[in-house]
Amino acid sequence: MGLTTVAALRELVSAVEQAVGPVRAPLGLVLGSGLGEIADEIEDARKVSYADLPHLAPSTVAGHSGQLVVGRWHKHEVIVLAGRVHAYEGHDFKQVSLPVRLLGALGIDALIVTNAAGAAHNRMAPGDLMVIRDHLNLTGGNPLVGENDDSLGRRFPDMTEAYDRHLRELCLEIAHRQGAPVHEGVYAGLLGPSYETPAEIHMLAALGADAVGMSTVPEVIVARHMGVRVLGLSCITNLGAGLGEGLLDHSHVKEVAGRATVRMINLLAGVVEALPELPLHRRVP
């Protein structure tokens, strides 16, 4: 991203609308590893690949396709990011969070982020879902470092309620109603790409983490910077290193995430269905 974020956003917004037509979607969705199937359920879907948009880095991780999909899902106009880029792919945190900036500029009021995560303790099991109550930013970076553009958000954004209380409560209630209860907990975001050592998992649990992963945190910081409300959902794909038997393996992570997809989709569908009509906040700077 050679340009300022604002200049890049202007070009991105116009490139997206040139590719898919006008976007008036107040709800954004970020789909993590193995969860891309939701993108196939979008009605009247209009798609553009990240590779065909300026400034966006194409995702290189298997299981992350890298497409922006606009359409209707459960009565709401949505913008879906199917596939994300991670800092461990070699991108800085501004680059990693640019797709979420784009959704903010296009006008979303609320963002639902999903990810695959390891459990930091054995009170959760592979296949479980967790509503993110809060996070620990242990990535070593922050997408807001550098000059602040006040047209995007304030210099020192509050993070007291990074994950919106009402959206969390709604999600827990829907899960209960569906007879598929979920956990609520703290997500520790690390840089990766190596998985943690058993000592690190032990440390994370002592710090108050329930789940650990390599995404989400920069996206949520940027969303909050823009005043976007956030709901975060983790699919627990494995016990953290040293908690279970055997070694950690990305193909296994993807497989478990894939198996939990139906439950994740049902839960997200229930939440989206229950949302009132959301306001659009066009923020093209």
Query: Which one, 248 or 269, has the nearer CB to ligand HPA?
Result: 248
Task: With H, G, I as helix, E, B as strand and everything else as coil, classify residue 61.
Answer: coil
Complex with ligand HPA: residue 74 or 121, whichever CB lies closer:
121
Point out the catalytic residue in the list 8, 25, 50, 64.
64
Q: What is the 3-state secondary structure (H, E, C) of 194-213?
A: CCCCHHHHHHHHHCCCCEEE
89 is catalytic: yes
Residue number with CB closer to ligand HPA (50 or 195) = 195
The span from the CA of 233 to the CA of 181, in Å, is: 13
Do residues 117 and 130 touch, judged by C-beta distance below 8 A? yes
Residue 33 falls in the annotated catalytic set: yes
Among the options 215, 219, 226, 260, which is catalytic? 215
The distance of closest approach from Cβ of residue 249 to ligand HPA in the complex, given in angstroms and rounded to an integer, is 10
Report the residue number, 128 or 164, with the smaller CB distance to ligand HPA: 128
Residues that bind ligand HPA (CB under 6 A): 116-118, 195-196, 212-214, 237-238, 240, 248, 253
Sign of the alpha-carbon torsion through 3, 18, 34, 262: positive
Residue 121 annotated among the catalytic residues of the structure: no
Which residues, listed in sequence order, are joined to residue 67 by a DSSP beta bridge? Answer: 49, 82
Is 234 a catalytic site residue?
A: no
Q: Which structure tokens are listed for 92?
A: 């800085």
Is 130 designated active site? no
* 3-state DSSP percent of the chain in helix, strand and coil, to 5: 35, 25, 40
Catalytic, 55? Answer: no
Active-site residue list: 33, 64, 86, 88-89, 116, 214-215, 238, 252
